[in-house]
Structure 1
Amino acid sequence: MKNQSVEVTFMMAGMRQRRRRWVLVTSLLTVLAGVLCCAMLLLGNTIYPVQEVIRTLLGEQIPGVSFAVNTIRLPRMLAGLFAGFAFGIAGYIFQTILRNPLANPNVLGITSGSSAAAVLCITVFHANNSVISIASIIGGLMTVVIMYFLSQGKSFSIGRLILIGIGIQAMLDAVISYLLLVSAQQDIPAALIWLNGSLNGSQIEELPPLVITVIIFTPIVILLGKHLNMLELGEHMASSLGVATNKTRIALIVSSVLMIAIATATTGPIAFVSFLAGTIANRIVGVSFSNIIPAGLVGANLVLVADLIGQFAFEYRFPVGIITGLLGAPYLILLLIRMNRKGEL
């Protein structure tokens, strides 16, 4: 009995330590996101005083400042914050459900479905931004529905889903390449800017769907976070622990797909954010607790940092997706090397 009491005390102490680490890291990520949001509002061709920016945000009209902050910087900051948060959460959910750190909506073809629909609207139908956004959302949703039904056999198979996703991504990427090849020259720049992922031209009127989606579905995936961790143990283990695996998986996939489809429709497919956010969150927090919120915050911070780098670190300004690609590619190589050494590949 005494040995059992010591073991229980040791386990409880370890759990408290892990909880403190989760709270500390999440708090630091929140503070960092706040600092980056302030930087997005303050920095630009003209650096405005903090007092003027605050007065402008409170509704006061200040010549020059009001236009720069309310029309350009605030929509850009909100788009980066909420889109990065959505990408981060969606990537973490897919990596956890599929039990593979390399799995993410980009690899599985979901963002390719959104991209193909958007490029079709830009190059063939010459549609406006609203139609492009709606088509992008529909394209992402149709892609995941097709993937899910094709992956159904006698039982759900992670390997089957990944293989089908990779195949669909290859097909959709070929469609995108064909559309760019046969489209008019004047349509190609707009399509390429969208495909690279960019916060340029973000408008406050286009953000409500993204903001509302993140606000609605984040609590849902948080409530399902405990079941998500059980799904990571495997299908049979989760079922034995009382988890309705199919219902939980569908709810999580639908929530994450809606968030990433609307985020993609708003900013374009920002490369590597959904891949990086979950793995970074697990490394800095640990895997004992649900890292849904830390993954979302890592995603938001990645997008905001990358956009600031793209705006001010080079002679020319680069879209945020190019910077996240430059940051993500080396990390992917290091992860592959590490997994190969551990025999996980």
Structure 2
Amino acid sequence: MRTLRLNLILLAVVAVATLLAVMLGSRFVGFDDFLAIQRGTARGGVDFIVMNNRLPNALTGLLAGVALGVGGALFQSLLRNPLTSPDVIGISLGGSAAAVFAMVVWGLQGLSLIGFTFLGAVLVALGIHLVSKRGHDVGGALILTGIAVAAMLQAVIQFVLTRADERVVGDTFRWLTGSLNSSTWPHLALLGATLLVLVPAALLAGRWLRLLELGDEAAASLGVRVEPARLTLVVLGSALCAAAVAFTGPLAFVSFMAGPLARLLNRGRTSLLLSGLCGAALVLVAETVAHTAFGTVVLPVGVVTGALGAPFLMILLIRSRRV
């Protein structure tokens, strides 16, 4: 019942955050403006601002936050380490490296770039899993392998950017920052359809997490086929994070923060749905701050999530030292 109440409260928070993200900005949009849009009598381009800019941005941020929150919680529970996330172990960088290569070398944009980014993140995740699955400490090996791969991919991104045209570099850097400003209704529909498959699948597969957290031998004794279960969770977590990165660019630290925040609210228990709602709330709040806190300067949402993530990491490190 406590988890259900928390989910309902977080759902209300996400709804309010979505409304604020649409209302606040360089021009305030009030309820009378919403009514005018419904009647078709809106003036001053308010209908364009809401329907072609703020609303698709907010809904894309909501869905991306859910995907990153659920995907990050899957990895943190699977690896039994709250300080790990797809950002740390190279999965997000896999999508970023694929996107940078596709933009710089082949000039890809739109749906082809989204597909290439998604494929890059998933392939990197599977490669990390295959390299690290031998041995007794699979979780530790996966983390170390992921950190090494992340460093290599970061070097690849820097090398490709040094060989690119200056105009392409500017567009690429904006994408690498993480932004919702290029969101469109067709992209939103595609992201929604993707998550309509992945999120329920992750929630169903999440029943293995509590058993795998007990250790491989204990999980096997309770009837879990450890290796297929782990591979399924890795694929689902990777696909969720890859979907978000493909449509928004890498939103720093969202997958890292959502899971621990949900466990803090839920008295230390893992809840994938609660983690997804926390991720959505984080992205929407960051989007509102990015558009309102700095006057006429509009920041990419990834800048704000990165600024939030750094002190959050320090707090987690301090808490872990006290335990």
TM-score, L = length of structure 2: 0.94
Aligned match of 2:273: 293
- Give the Cα separation in 2 of the matches to 1:138 and 1:23: 35
Aligned match of 1:311: 291
1:135 aligns with 2:116: yes
- Kindly name which structure, 1 or 2, has the bigger radius of gyration based on alpha carbons: 1
CA-CA distance at 1:225 after TM superposition: 2.5
1:178 aligns with 2:156: no
Aligned match of 1:158: 139
1:223 aligns with 2:204: yes
Query: Deviations for 1:237-264, whole angstroms, at most 9, x for unmatched residues?
Result: 1111112222222222212211111110
1:280 aligns with 2:257: no
CA-CA distance at 1:54 after TM superposition: 5.1
| Structure 2 residue identity aligned to 1:123 | V
- Give the Cα separation in 2 of the matches to 1:103 and 1:335: 11
CA-CA distance at 1:59 after TM superposition: 8.0
The structure 1 residue matched to 2:60, chosen from 73, 76, 79, is 79
Aligned match of 1:146: 127
Contact map agreement 1:94 1:104 (CA 8 A) in 2: yes
Aligned match of 2:305: 324
CA-CA distance at 1:158 after TM superposition: 1.1
Aligned match of 2:16: 35
The structure 1 residue matched to 2:7, chosen from 18, 26, 29, is 26
Query: Deviations for 1:67-104, whole angstroms, at most 9, x for unmatched residues?
Result: 11111011101110000110000000000000001111
CA-CA distance at 1:155 after TM superposition: 5.9
- Give the Cα separation in 2 of the matches to 1:189 and 1:256: 30
The farther-off stretch of 301-310 and 148-157 is 148-157
Gap change, CA 1:173 and 1:23, over 3 Å in 2: same
- Give the Cα separation in 1 of the matches to 2:36 and 2:4: 33
Contact map agreement 1:213 1:258 (CA 8 A) in 2: no
Give the % identical residues: 37
- Give the Cα separation in 2 of the matches to 1:226 and 1:85: 18
| Structure 2 residue identity aligned to 1:192 | F
Contact map agreement 1:112 1:172 (CA 8 A) in 2: yes
Contact map agreement 2:22 2:55 (CA 8 A) in 1: yes
The farther-off stretch of 215-224 and 114-123 is 215-224
| Structure 2 residue identity aligned to 1:250 | L
Q: Extract unaligned runs of 5+ from structure 2.
A: none
Contact map agreement 1:86 1:259 (CA 8 A) in 2: yes
The structure 1 residue matched to 2:104, chosen from 119, 123, 128, is 123
| Structure 1 residue identity aligned to 2:112 | V
CA-CA distance at 1:24 after TM superposition: 2.0
| Structure 1 residue identity aligned to 2:212 | L
Query: Deviations for 1:134-168, whole angstroms, at most 9, x for unmatched residues?
Result: 11011111101211211132567111111111111
CA-CA distance at 1:37 after TM superposition: 0.9
Contact map agreement 1:87 1:259 (CA 8 A) in 2: yes
CA-CA distance at 1:332 after TM superposition: 0.3
CA-CA distance at 1:114 after TM superposition: 0.4
CA-CA distance at 1:224 after TM superposition: 2.4
Gap change, CA 1:115 and 1:183, over 3 Å in 2: same
Q: Extract unaligned runs of 5+ from structure 1.
A: 1-19
The structure 1 residue matched to 2:193, chosen from 212, 219, 235, is 212
- Give the Cα separation in 1 of the matches to 2:39 and 2:151: 48
| Structure 2 residue identity aligned to 1:187 | V
Aligned match of 1:107: 88
TM-score, L = length of structure 1: 0.89
Aligned match of 1:14: none
CA-CA distance at 1:169 after TM superposition: 0.5
Matches within 5 A, 1:250-269: 250-269=231-250
Gap change, CA 1:54 and 1:144, over 3 Å in 2: farther
Query: Deviations for 1:5-53, whole angstroms, at most 9, x for unmatched residues?
Result: xxxxxxxxxxxxxxx3212221111101000111122223322332432
Aligned match of 2:27: 46
- Give the Cα separation in 1 of the matches to 2:321 and 2:268: 21
SS in 1 for 2:167: helix
Aligned match of 1:234: 215
SS in 1 for 2:34: helix
